[in-house]
Amino acid sequence: MDPLTVLVLVAALGTAGALASGIASMAYDGEIGHKSSAEWMVWRVGLQGAAFLIILLALLVSG
């Protein structure tokens, strides 16, 4: 498997994990959970951006 493919998969799984953690934190932890949820969503946005950039790099390298 190509290293860029592995990086895309890791970034996508990290994004999904941050999303799930943010939703779970918001649903179960009350007021503190909302702050924690916001932090998880910031991580999600960063990981999603990284995944997007890695996909663009993979497309440029393979094309």
The DSSP annotation for 5-60 comes to: HHHHHHHHHHHHHHHHHHHHHHHHSHHHHHHHHHHHHHHHHHHHHHHHHHHHHHHH
| pTM over the 0.95 mark | no
Q: pLDDT band at residue 29, thresholds of 50, 70 and 90?
A: low
pLDDT at 60 over 90: yes
Q: pLDDT band at residue 34, thresholds of 50, 70 and 90?
A: confident
Q: pLDDT band at residue 9, thresholds of 50, 70 and 90?
A: very high
Q: What residue ranges do the domains of the chain occupy?
A: 3-62
How far is residue 36's CA from residue 38's CA, in Å, rounded to a whole number?
Answer: 5
